Structure 1
Amino acid sequence: MVSTDAIGSDGYNDFWRTMLVDFTKHLKEKKWFEKTYIAMDERPMAAMQSVIRLLKSVDKDWKIALAGEYHQEIEKDINNYCIASKWKFPDDVLASRKQQGKVSTWYTCCVEKYPNAFTFSPPAEMVWMGWYTAATGMEGYLRWAYNSWPSSPLNDSRFTAWPSGDTYLVYPGPLTSIRFEKIIEGIQDYEKINILRKEYSDKGDTKKMQQLEEALKQFQIPALSKTSAKDMLGKTRHLLNL
């Protein structure tokens, strides 16, 4: 049974508050509450504000996750915030979130021409995403989906009007894909960049740190309209092997 009342209405709040009160009690009894998030996907700001008020009225310590557009008005209430690639966290906001231990990530979906992980996307873009994540100072990248297969994924990677490959990164079997392997490669580069940043900082190696940070500056999404991900990486990846 679900509520058919509009979000924010008395009927909606009464329906969900009953469940949330019991759910909160259950999580606390199991000692799971502190690591549990209520997550929402691409909800409008007004709807999020209403749900946030409802959650906080049940327990002020509820953690909230959202994948969607960036809204300054609700940012402070989102513990795990994944923003669409057309948005950016302001520098001061991102620094504050890091200090508070909040998670800040980004994602792509159907609408982004680049970078993306479609079957027709240049494979280097999946590696490029790791560098972009490091360049922006975010903690990670989210990609729908891992294995939401259409009827014949080995023969046709389309799903209705969605771009080819949007719904999966691996194949039945299980079988990997170039896209999945390249995303792993990008994750490895991201981790290596963070290791080098710490190493250079600990050693006071300002020259190498400056080289790395200058290289990262070019990893901006608009730059892909003029320079391919492959060419951009070709000029920078040697810095991970110094």
Structure 2
Amino acid sequence: MSQEPDRLFSAALDQVPDFTFNEDVVRVFPDMIKRSVPGYPTIVENIGVLAAQFARPDTLLYDLGSSLGAVTQALRRHVRSDGCRVLAVDNSAAMVERCAEYLKAQDAMYQELLPVQVLEADITALELQPASVVAMNFTLQFIEPAVRLALLGKIRQALVPGGALILSEKLRFEDAGEHALLTDLHIAFKRANGYSELEIAQKRSAIENVMKPDSLEEHRTRLEAAGFSKVVPWFQCLNFASLIALP
């Protein structure tokens, strides 16, 4: 399946619309995410490795905000617990359609993969079944801040003993100097990956109203308020991080 280069913001726009996960974004998403999120391939593959340590037999593994299913594919490659199945959920019809195509291609390449279902749904309204692993890979930051605690509380209630939430997010930083430094380094990362100053500026304008990052301290406090007993950062590259939250 062809993957187009991300040129969505390469031409000057009179008015930059808010970012949305539409067909245009889906078409270039693999290139966009790789060139925009430092450490992304490492995070995705190791979510599968981590999940294998927490997956319990006969339980669900959720990929909430699954986009094109990269995390779902990693879960299927690494988890071997008997009776597990993966539920990949996203609210973008375009993402869900393409995700299903990618997972079908994965079925053709690998043997004995976990069964998977792809569902178009709003994860804030989804009724969660007992699960041993819930992955949210750069998803919570697009959820309205007022409903984040309720969503995490629902996830905590769904997790079986010994399970885990794996949460990856872009971070903001309480210290202004630290925030400025890591923001500048992230921009340098995007420049090094071929984005122009115009593309960087227009993408930032498009996403600033729809993506609201939290600090690590805010994540930890909210997860504890949701009922998680331990929060362990396991990866950080510049201003992107991933956490393990244990029930």
TM bracket, shorter-chain basis: under 0.3
TM-score normalized by the length of structure 2: 0.27
**Higher strand proportion, which one?**
2
TM-score normalized by the length of structure 1: 0.28
Relative contact order: is structure 1 or structure 2 higher (C-alpha 8 Å, sep ≥ 6)?
2
Which structure has the larger Rg over C-alpha atoms?
1
